[in-house]
Amino acid sequence: MRKEGAKPERLVAKLAARQHGVVSTVQLHSAGLGDYAISRRVEAGRFHRIHRGVYAVGHTRLSFEGRCMAAALACGEGAAISHRSAAALWGILSLSARGSIELTLPTDGGRKRRRGIVIHRSRTLTARDVKRRAGIPLTSPLRTLADVRRTQPEKLHQRAIRRALDLRLVSEVDLGTDPDLTRSELERQFLTLCRRRRVPKPEVNVRVDRFEVDFLWREEMVVVETDGFRHHGHRAAFESDRTRDAELQSLGYQVLRFTYRQVCESTDDVASALRAVLGLCG
């Protein structure tokens, strides 16, 4: 029997380093290790079985990325990490460190379930819907957002959209975002904030001189403008807004501008700023 040299070990080490610490049986065979050699390394504690046909090299303390890669390898060619797991890899949603990994297979046919993996099947998943991030096959940002929209609460989907826009993973053009719907959602969030923080209800979408403003406290001469999805990454919109703010200020109005993220996630800061300019106590 051929004595195993150092070459397979080097190949496996390089492969594991590229794949977040995991390798498949097929890859081990390609590196020159037979089934007997693999079994010996399992017994010696050098390989650790994660899924059938997938091993962690050296230890089982896999990162989230390692668990995703292991799931993709276990489910074979065409598998792509998807849904909330893909959203976590793209950095647009958080995910429990030990939760099951979700992935999609480009088929509607059955396949055995695997522990720790939630398998979705889709005949509409195509090659253009699959990207690689840190070497891991996963659904594109647009496909990921679509999957999140179908399977998660709307509030979570909106959060994912905001983060994807912030990270420039998608654009408003990509999303086909309806500015009116976006504006309506932001108005609702802002008015809810006012009600909960006991800030007097403003007038909404009213004219001040030649401008239509988002929110107005007429007696206090305070205007609030909220920047929705349409403002992300658009220099022309940024400059237009600043010109508009300057003209309103020249008319004697105080103008505050808040982003979607501030309204939804930094409510204490927004409420404090509003109460200060409106002269409210506390």
Question: In whole angstroms, what is the distance from residue 231 CA to residue 223 CA?
Answer: 18
Q: What value does the mean pLDDT take over residues 154-180?
A: 78
Please report the pLDDT score of residue 187 as a whole number: 83
Please report the pLDDT score of residue 184 as a whole number: 66
Are 66 and 21 spatial neighbours (Cβ–Cβ below 8 Å)? yes
Please report the pLDDT score of residue 3 as a whole number: 46
Using pLDDT thresholds of 50, 70 and 90, give the confidence band for residue 154: confident
Amino acid at 140: S
Does residue 88 surpass a pLDDT of 50?
A: yes
Q: What value does the mean pLDDT take over residues 210-221?
A: 92
Does residue 33 surpass a pLDDT of 90?
A: yes
The distance between the two most distant Cα atoms of the chain, rounded to a whole number of Å, is 92
Q: What value does the mean pLDDT take over residues 140-150?
A: 94
Rg of the chain taking only CA atoms, in angstroms? 26
Residue with tokens 């799931």: 71
Domains of the chain, each with CATH number or no CATH: 6-57 (no CATH), 64-175 (no CATH), 180-277 (3.40.960.10)
Mean pLDDT of the chain: 87
Question: In whole angstroms, what is the distance from residue 212 CA to residue 159 CA?
Answer: 27
Which is nearest to 282 in space by CA: 265, 266, 261, 268?
268
Using pLDDT thresholds of 50, 70 and 90, give the confidence band for residue 252: very high
Which is nearest to 84 in space by CA: 74, 97, 70?
97
Instruction: Return phi, psi of residue 216, to 5°.
Output: -140, 130
Using pLDDT thresholds of 50, 70 and 90, give the confidence band for residue 1: very low
